[in-house]
Amino acid sequence: SRPVLRVEPTVSFDPPIISLDNKNCQSFKNFTATVCFPVSKATKDNIADLQVNISYTFTLDATRSVYRAYFSTGNRMINNTVTARVEVKCVKHQFKIPECPEDSLVSLSNELRFSVSGYPSLSTANLKPILDVSTQTDIFFPLDFERHCGTDDKCVDQLNVNFIFSGVSE
C-alpha cells in the first residue's frame, strides 16, 4: 500500500504582534512570515526515500476585500512550491503593513492553502506517498494588533468626552 504522510503547517510572524506606536503614517512596518511544513509519516513502514512537492498559496489579510498588508510585489497573495522529505521545511516571506492601518481592531487573518503531490519511491516499485485524508489543507493564522488592556489583559472602554462652549451667552 502507498505510504501516508502528515503535513501540519505552522506560520509564525516576526515581530509577533503589530505595534500601534504610530510614528509616521506615511511609512510601513516590515514583517517576516515563516511558513513551516513539518512532514511526518502516518504509516509504519521502513521507506526512507519519501519525497513530496508542497504547493501553497499564502494570503495576507485574506478575509477583507481591502487588505492592510502586502508582499513586496504589492500583492497580498504569494504562490510557492517546496520539495520536502520527512522533515520540517520552512520558507520566509517578507511583507509590509502601513504604520497607521485603516482598521487596527480586527486581527489580520492570514490564510495558508496547500496541496501535496508525492514523488515515486525507488525502493517501493515507484509507489507515491499520499497525504493523510484527515489533513486540514486550508488554515488561518492571525496576526494581532497590540492591545493596551492593563495588567489583567481585559479591555474596557474608557471614553470620556468633554464639551466646552465658548462665546455662548445666556
How far is 167 from 165, CA to CA, in rounded Å?
7
For residue 47, name the pLDDT band (cuts at 50, 70, 90). Answer: confident
How large is the average pLDDT for residues 129-144?
A: 96
pLDDT tens digits, one per residue of 113-128: 999 999 988 888 888 9
Whole-model pTM: value is: 0.84
Peptide bond connecting 142 to the previous residue in cis, omega within 30 degrees of 0 = no
What was the pLDDT predicted at 113? 98
What was the pLDDT predicted at 126? 86
| Maximum distance among all Cα pairs of the chain, rounded to whole angstroms | 97
Nearest to 108 by CA among 25, 16, 21, 10: 16
The amino acid at 118: G
How large is the average pLDDT for residues 93-98?
A: 95
Q: Which residue has the higher pLDDT, 1 or 11?
A: 11
Nearest to 59 by CA among 102, 108, 10: 108
Copy the grid coordinates of residue 4.
501516508
Asked if residue 164 has pLDDT above 90, the reply is no
Question: Over the chain, what is the mean pLDDT?
Answer: 89
